[in-house]
Structure formats: structure tokens, C-alpha cells
Structure 1
Amino acid sequence: MAHAIAGTMPTPDPAALPLVVGIGGTIGGVSSTERSLRIALDAAAAQGFRTQLFGGADMARLPLYDPRATSRTPEEQAFVAAVRAASAVIIASPGYHGSISGVVKNALDLLEETARDERPYLSDMPVGLIATAYGWQATGSTIAALRSIVHALRGWPTPFAAAINTQITKFDEEGRASDAAVMEQLSLIGRQVARFAPLAAEAKRMQE
């Protein structure tokens, strides 16, 4: 059996790190919404968390949620399993007609599969929120819709939510925002869920 060399710290097992799940994006390529979500997830990773992203392409593979279905697709099962394992979640949605997009709502509807779990839905989990829209009006109403949904799912929306006006802020191919203040706002989302995630992990351990 291998032994650690004196004076060195063992490398942590990535699978043992607490998990932050990101949900968001749009169908048809990597969007500003998904790039915003990745910046927030990177900030959580910098705090010592592992992350898992369910972007637009992943959500497009989820069938419309049917509460009476007797079986779930592998994609549905993977999504639900990831949220069950999570200590925190970050949700990012574009503002479509003043509210969240259909693909994001469909993914969140699938969390009904956790209704009978010991920790149902997003119970006791910090949830970071991001809204992107071409203008300010839809960002505010989309954040409000996301907060309402997270409350219904028994989650804890973090104190700060990021509203990104894509008429002003652009993202490059490396995924960075043109506005340093927006980069900081998105990073703050990741840091806040990381800060509160240990409380969710402790609550989950107490239920096991």
C-alpha cells in the first residue's frame, strides 16, 4: 500500500468534494446564459467544489416532463441523480417573454421525481440565480420567477442574483464577459453558493 511522503498533503479525491450543479442555457449552441453559468461554476470550483453543468444541449435531450411516465430516460436519470448528490445548485435562464425559458422550466419540473426523497426537491440547498436578457426589463422578472420557483422547491436563493443585460455585456470565445463588473457578479454567485453549501451538506448528512 502506498504511503504519503512526509511533509506532503495527500491529493484529495475529486469524487469526495461537495458538488455544485449548474442548470441553464439555451438550445442551439453555447449562449450568453451558459457562459454566465460557467463563470459562476468556475468560481465555486475555485473554492474547492466539484461542479457539473447541464447546459442547453443537455436540457434539449430531456423529454417533456410527464408525471405519469413509468420509466425515465438515461438523461433524465442522470439529471435527477446529480441534483440528489448536490450540495448547491446554480440556475441560469434567459428571459423569454418576461420569464424563464421552457427548457429550464422543463428540467426543474423533472425534480418532482425527488418528491418522496428524504431531502425532496432543493430542500435546504443554496441556489444561485442568473438571468440574461436583451434589455433590463426581462432580467428582473426572470429573476423574480426563478426565486418563486426555488422557494416552491424549498431551496434557499442566495442573497445576490445576477441580472445580465446582453445588449450591453458581450462574451468572448473564451467565455469571459466584456464588463469586469459582470465577471465579479457572476463570480460572487459561485462564492455565495460555496459559502452556504456546507450547511446543506450537514443537513443531508443528518438525514442519512
Structure 2
Amino acid sequence: MTGPVRLAVLCGSAATPSSTERLLRRAAAHAESLGARVDFFAGERLRLPLYGTPGAASDSAVLDLVTSVAAADGLLVGSPCYHGSVSGLLKNAFDHLEELRDRSAPYLDGRAVGCLVVGQGAQGPANALRALRDIVHALRGWPTPLGVTVDGPPLRAPADCELEVRLELVARQVVAFAEARRAVTGGVGRDVAAVSRSA
């Protein structure tokens, strides 16, 4: 498999721009600086029909998401912390990945996923990060060793060097794992033509 590493980025905040989106865009920029190609889902691109709604699987926005995730070598995923867990918007997007169950690499199989959560306080974001990592595991993905939590609005000052280092590291882990997996498998398992957009 040749060409740049491809990452799907999912932002689980209904607001745009949001603290979560700004955080993810910084991480995505680090991934791009490492040569990755990024497909960013935020705002309207992630406002999908409720999973299970008749006809939802053929909705163009759902097909766009599912096709991008199926073709991705890795993911960056972020959510605001809502009552100690991930947002319903993000959970609904994950539920739509059920469309990938019968693929050669079902769900997020074998792909690294960098997880990021923004919230107030220490306990809520930590709980939400744990929930996000559990969802990624359930979808057969590999959460990166580093997960990022932020207490309050991120990147309020350019001098927030510690946070920037963490964002760069999680992006580097996703890209490095994707490159290593490609080297071993030759890209086998990445289903570029997973879903027909004309379905």
C-alpha cells in the first residue's frame, strides 16, 4: 500500500467551533506535519440520522463517514464530557460503524485510535476517556498508549506547551502505528472501497 497514511478524525461536539474541535484540529495538524492525510468530521458532517432509523444506512452523510473510516489507517477521536461519558453525537457515529461488520477488517479492526476528551474537573473527563477507550476496544480498535484529557477550554494561551506536547505525541502514536502496520501487512485489511456511495 502506497501513499500517505489516511486518518479519519471524529469530533463529538455539536457546537462548531468548539473546545473539542480546536483540540482535535491541533492534533490533526501534527498528524499532517508527519505526512498523514486527514478527513475531518465535525459539525454538520457528524450530525447523522439516529442509528436504527429506517433508511439511515443509505443516508449520504452516513455513507461518507463509513467510507472514510473503512479507508482509514487510523483515527483521532474527541468528545466533550457529558455526565461522565462521551457525547450522544459521537456514540451515534460509532453505532453507524455497524455497517462495517462484514468487511475484511470489520469496524476499527487493527487500527490505532487516539482518544481526546474535554470537560470540567478531573473526574468527568477521566471517566469519559475510559468510556471512549472501551468503545474503541469493542470496535476492535487499538487506543493509543496516550489518551488526552483537558480540564476546561483547551489552548487558551499559545504558551500551553505541555498540552501541545501531548497532542503531538498522540498524533505521532497514531501515525507511527499506522505506518508500522502497513509495513507488516502491506495495507491488507484497509477496505478502501468499503461502501458504495451510490447505495
2:5–2:175 CA contact under 8 A, matched in 1: no
User: What does the per-residue CA deviation read over 1:111-166, in whole Å, with 9 as the maximum and x for residues that have no partner?
Assistant: 00000000000000000000100111111001100111011000011000001111
> Are 2:44 and 1:57 aligned?
yes
Distance 2:125 2:42 in 1: 19
Unaligned 5+ runs, structure 2? 192-199
1:17–1:49 CA contact under 8 A, matched in 2: yes
Q: TM-score, with normalisation over the residues of structure 1?
A: 0.83
> Are 2:174 and 1:193 aligned?
yes
2:49–2:56 CA contact under 8 A, matched in 1: no
Partner of 2:96: 110
Deviation at 1:205, TM superposition (A): 2.9
Q: TM-score, with normalisation over the residues of structure 2?
A: 0.87
Residue from 163, 174, 177 that aligns with 1:182 = 163
Aligned positions of 1:157-176 closer than 5 A: 157-166=143-152, 169-171=153-155
1:34–1:56 CA contact under 8 A, matched in 2: no
Partner of 2:7: 20
Aligned positions of 1:10-49 closer than 5 A: 16-49=3-36
Structure 1 residues 67, 105: closer, same or farther in 2, change over 3 A? same
1:26–1:57 CA contact under 8 A, matched in 2: no
Distance 2:117 2:56 in 1: 34
Deviation at 1:28, TM superposition (A): 2.7
Deviation at 1:69, TM superposition (A): 4.0
1:24–1:104 CA contact under 8 A, matched in 2: yes
Unaligned 5+ runs, structure 1? 1-14
Structure 1 residues 198, 67: closer, same or farther in 2, change over 3 A? farther
Distance 1:153 1:71 in 2: 18
Partner of 1:96: 82
Distance 1:70 1:162 in 2: 32
1:95–1:142 CA contact under 8 A, matched in 2: yes
Distance 1:101 1:95 in 2: 7
SS in 2 for 1:151: helix
Q: Percent identity?
A: 35
SS in 1 for 2:84: coil
Deviation at 1:188, TM superposition (A): 1.1
Count of aligned residue pairs for this structure pair: 188
One-letter code aligned to 1:48: G
One-letter code aligned to 1:37: L
1:93–1:131 CA contact under 8 A, matched in 2: yes
Structure 1 residues 206, 113: closer, same or farther in 2, change over 3 A? same
Distance 1:27 1:190 in 2: 23
Residue from 47, 61, 65 that aligns with 1:75 = 61
Structure 1 residues 25, 203: closer, same or farther in 2, change over 3 A? same
